[in-house]
A = this chain, B = another copy of it.
Amino acid sequence: MAESREFLYPSKWLSKASAGNRVTSELRMRIISGEIESGTILSENKLAVDFAVSRSPIREALKILASENIIRLERMGAVVIGLSDKEIEEIYDVRLLIESFVFERLVRMDTNELVKELSKILEMMKVAIKYSDADEFSYQDVLFHETIIHAVNHSYILMIWNNLKPVMESFILLSMRMRFKEKYEDFTRIVKNHELYIEAIKTKDRDLMIKSFHENFDDVQVKVEDLWMSQQMLSKGVVQQND
């Protein structure tokens, strides 16, 4: 099989990445996009052939994806879990949980530097919108929230984020690509929400932060079905990998 095919994950984000990381990122995208359906059983050997690498990087990828909860390692083969609407809600539960926690810490800190940093990132997001660069926009969006979390310097909150981030990133990437094509008008609202978020940090207004977080969630929340439909459209020329 192993034909040349497009990759879902932005190749320029992988400039210095190892084969293991490449496989991890790409496999994650294919799972979250629904291209590899939930319930599919992945074989190390088959994946090694498909990606034209040895089993070592594949094993590494499967271990990571299992720790991210999008596949389940069983005695024979890895079973794809993927993201259903339930999981997406759960991810946002956790994000709200940690971002609320972080906010409580921020309230007791000097946030001037952070606010400046976030404003810069928001400017970048606006530029990305102007040039219809969905990938760059997603990158900055994730970075925005990561920057907030980094600010409080809490290694175990950061650990949670690091576990959640790749799945978030993939989901946002797919979601934004779709919306750049179909719902361009959404982005003025997204920008406004991020402005609110910055404002909340500046004024240390907890309620405002929760409000903007929830609006952002309602906004970003694309139903998984839509995502999958859209994905199908984007990749219609692509060879399906049935063995």
Interface residues of A (CB under 8 A from B): 60, 63, 67-69, 87, 90-91, 93-94, 97-98, 101, 154-160, 162-164
Are A67 and B69 in contact, CB atoms less than 8 angstroms apart? no
The verdict on A154 contacting B63 (CB below 8 Å), with A97-B101, A160-B163, A163-B163 known, is no
The residue on B at minimum CB distance from A157 is B94
- Docked pose: A156 CA to B93 CA in angstroms: 9
The residue on B at minimum CB distance from A94 is B156
Shortest Cβ distance from residue A214 to the other chain B in the assembled complex, whole angstroms: 16
The residue on B at minimum CB distance from A167 is B156
The residue on B at minimum CB distance from A68 is B159
Which residues of B lie under 8 Å from residue A157 when comparing CB positions? Answer: 90, 93-94
Which residues of B lie under 8 Å from residue A154 when comparing CB positions? Answer: 90, 93
- Docked pose: A155 CA to B87 CA in angstroms: 7
- Docked pose: A91 CA to B154 CA in angstroms: 10
Q: List 30 A-B contacts (CB under 8 A).
A: A60-B63, A67-B159, A67-B162, A67-B163, A68-B159, A69-B155, A69-B156, A69-B158, A69-B159, A87-B155, A87-B156, A90-B154, A90-B156, A90-B157, A91-B156, A93-B101, A93-B154, A93-B156, A93-B157, A94-B156, A94-B157, A94-B160, A97-B97, A97-B98, A97-B101, A156-B164, A159-B163, A160-B160, A160-B163, A163-B163
The residue on B at minimum CB distance from A96 is B101
Shortest Cβ distance from residue A64 to the other chain B in the assembled complex, whole angstroms: 8
- Docked pose: A199 CA to B157 CA in angstroms: 29
Which residues of B lie under 8 Å from residue A156 when comparing CB positions? Answer: 69, 87, 90-91, 93-94, 164
- Docked pose: A37 CA to B221 CA in angstroms: 45
Which residues of B lie under 8 Å from residue A97 when comparing CB positions? Answer: 97-98, 101
Which residues of B lie under 8 Å from residue A90 when comparing CB positions? Answer: 154-157
- Docked pose: A156 CA to B171 CA in angstroms: 15
Which residues of B lie under 8 Å from residue A160 when comparing CB positions? Answer: 94, 160, 163
The residue on B at minimum CB distance from A92 is B156
Which residues of B lie under 8 Å from residue A155 when comparing CB positions? Answer: 69, 87, 90
- Docked pose: A129 CA to B97 CA in angstroms: 36
